[in-house]
């Protein structure tokens, strides 16, 4: 089922939780709503579920406006962060609950429950109560309950955040595989970028009620439209340095009192031009920095601290009053207080307007 949100606004009193949201989710697509807490992603999900009514704008399921359709008539499956399994019902009764409400014949309910329990490998738990099974098992039961009525749309509200780290990673893969097998349109709310990046076809990234961008994980990572996306996606986060913008010939020169970076012609051509000496933000990810010999077009700094990440080392380098993070190999030998030269992979830098935070890259 295709889901379209058109100019959707939701307010709570004076607070605008969702501001003019436009979003199209294609049939069978797995879309993550990603953003920090309070960004409006759960409100958006609850509007899709019909639990909240938008103040203005339209929500369409397959070209049909559903603003006034009650949750029970939308045929959606929903899975909550708390799982919301009824503690007084057995696993079997929990899964059968949506079918019982639909007044399906008993035999059919039994058959469907058996079938979905088989798919989630929880047949042996059917007679138990939710309090008697583990968190991972509860998660499966909640998913089974959401899917047993064969919904057109599956809504997942932070379904993995109550699981421990290793279980979370294995559930990620499982949910993704299941979604592809069933081909069911899925919207998934999370504040964890790793989950969003690893599971979804496209990510809608939100901040303060506004949609920042929607795109494939790769798009958002490689070509962030603004500083919020650039800083939110990627771990460790992108480094930002305020620099002065200058153009000499067809080259851009980024200058501040402690370093100067000249962008070659073919890279300079990617960016909008500003007036000389205007302040802009240079953004570069830790994985696109390296530490090397003294050379022109590098940034000189002092090692502030070295963190071991297992596979890599993360080096904090003090540049003037700023600190930048550099990802280096395990063999890096530098110590606190050493002076180093940080080399930039110029193909992978980002320039942002200092006023509105938007990327200065020409749209492709």
Interaction with other proteins in 68-87: which residues (CB under 8 A)?
Answer: 71-74, 76-78, 80-82, 84, 86-87
CB closer to other proteins out of 22 and 121: 121
Q: How far apart are CA 105 and CA 107, in angstroms?
A: 6
First to last CA, the chain: 30
Residue 272 CB, nearest approach to other proteins (Å): 46
Q: Compare residues 76 and 327 and give the one whose CB is closer to other proteins.
A: 76
Are the CB atoms for 180 and 172 separated by under 8 Å? no
Q: Nearest distance from residue 152's CB to other proteins, in Å? A: 13
Backbone angles phi, psi at 344, to 5 degrees: -105, 140
As measured in angstroms, the least distance from the Cβ of 148 to other proteins is 10
- C-alpha closest to that of 151 among 64, 207, 71: 71
User: What dihedral do alpha carbons 236, 240, 246, 248 form, nearest 10°?
Assistant: -10
Distance of CA 58 to the CA centre of its chain: 24
Residue of the chain from 35, 40, 98, 209 that contacts other proteins (CB under 8 A): 98
Interface residue with other proteins, options 102, 106, 180, 279 (CB under 8 A)? 102
Q: Give the interface segment with other proteins, choosing from 97-105, 180-188, 240-248, 267-275 (CB under 8 A).
A: 97-105
Q: Looking at residues 32 to 71 of the shown chain, list those that interact with other proteins (rule: CB under 8 A).
A: 46, 49-51, 71
Of 167 and 360, the one with the shorter C-beta distance to other proteins is 167
Would you say 259 and 284 are in contact if contact means Cβ atoms under 8 Å apart? no
Tell me how many residues contact other proteins (CB under 8 A). Answer: 35
| Residue 159 within binding range of other proteins, rule CB under 8 A | no
- Sheet with 153-157: list strands edge to edge: 76-79, 153-157, 185-190, 30-34, 202-207, 210-215
Min dist CB 155 to other proteins, Å, is 8
Give the range of 58-66, 94-102, 186-194, 235-243 binding other proteins by CB under 8 A.
94-102
Binding of other proteins by 173 (CB under 8 A): no
Q: How far is the CB of 131 from other proteins (least distance, A)?
A: 2
Residue window 111-130: x/- pattern of binding to other proteins, with contact defined by CB under 8 A: -----------------xxx
In whole angstroms, what is the distance from residue 29 CA to residue 349 CA? 31
Q: Tell me how far, at minimum, the Cβ of 88 lies from other proteins, in Å.
A: 4
> Residue 206 phi/psi, 5° resolution?
-120, 150
Q: How far is the CB of 110 from other proteins (least distance, A)?
A: 18
Residues 42 and 156: their CA atoms lie apart, in Å, by 10
CB of 253 to other proteins, least distance (A): 55
**Taking CB under 8 A as the rule, does residue 145 contact other proteins?**
yes
Cα separation, 184 vs 179, in Å, equals 6
Out of 137, 179, 207, 268, the residue judged to bind other proteins by CB under 8 A: 137
Binding residues for other proteins (CB under 8 A): 46, 49-51, 71-74, 76-78, 80-82, 84, 86-89, 97-98, 101-102, 128-134, 136-137, 145, 149, 155
């Amino acid at each position: 089922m295709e889901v379209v949100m058109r100019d959707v606004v939701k307010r709570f009193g004076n607070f605008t939780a969702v501001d003019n949201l436009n979003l199209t989710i294609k049939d069978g697509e797995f879309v993550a709503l990603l953003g920090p807490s309070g960004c409006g992603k759960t409100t958006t999900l609850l509007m899709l579920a019909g639990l909240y009514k938008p103040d203005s704008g339209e929500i369409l399921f397959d070209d049909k406006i559903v603003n006034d359709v009650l949750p029970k008539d939308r045929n959606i499956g929903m899975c909550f962060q708390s799982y919301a399994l009824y503690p007084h019902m057995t696993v079997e009764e929990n899964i059968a609950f949506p079918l019982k409400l639909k007044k399906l014949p008993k035999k059919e309910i039994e058959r469907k429950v058996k079938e979905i329990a088989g798919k989630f490998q929880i047949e042996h738990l059917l007679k138990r109560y939710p309090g008697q099974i583990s968190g991972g098992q509860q998660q499966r039961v909640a998913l089974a309950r959401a899917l047993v009525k064969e919904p057109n749309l599956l809504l997942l509200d932070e379904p993995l955040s109550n699981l421990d780290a290793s279980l979370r990673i294995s559930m990620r893969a499982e949910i993704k595989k299941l979604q592809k097998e069933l081909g069911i349109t899925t919207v998934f709310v999370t504040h964890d970028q790793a989950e969003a990046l690893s599971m979804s076809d496209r990510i809608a990234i939100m901040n303060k009620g506004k949609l920042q961008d929607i795109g494939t994980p790769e798009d958002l990572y490689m070509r962030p439209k603004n500083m919020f996306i650039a800083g939110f996606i990627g771990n460790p986060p992108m480094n930002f340095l305020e620099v002065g913008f200058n153009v000499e010939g067809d080259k851009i020169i980024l200058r501040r009192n402690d370093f100067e970076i000249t962008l070659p012609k073919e890279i300079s051509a990617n960016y909008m031009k500003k007036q000389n000496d205007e302040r802009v933000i240079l953004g570069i990810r830790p994985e696109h920095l390296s530490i090397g010999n003294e050379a022109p077009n590098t940034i000189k700094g002092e090692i502030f601290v070295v963190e071991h990440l297992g596979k890599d080392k993360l080096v904090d380098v003090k540049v003037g009053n700023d600190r930048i993070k550099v990802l280096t190999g395990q063999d890096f030998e530098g110590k606190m207080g050493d002076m180093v030269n940080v080399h930039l992979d110029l193909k992978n830098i980002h320039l942002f307007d200092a006023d509105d935070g938007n990327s200065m890259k020409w749209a492709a």
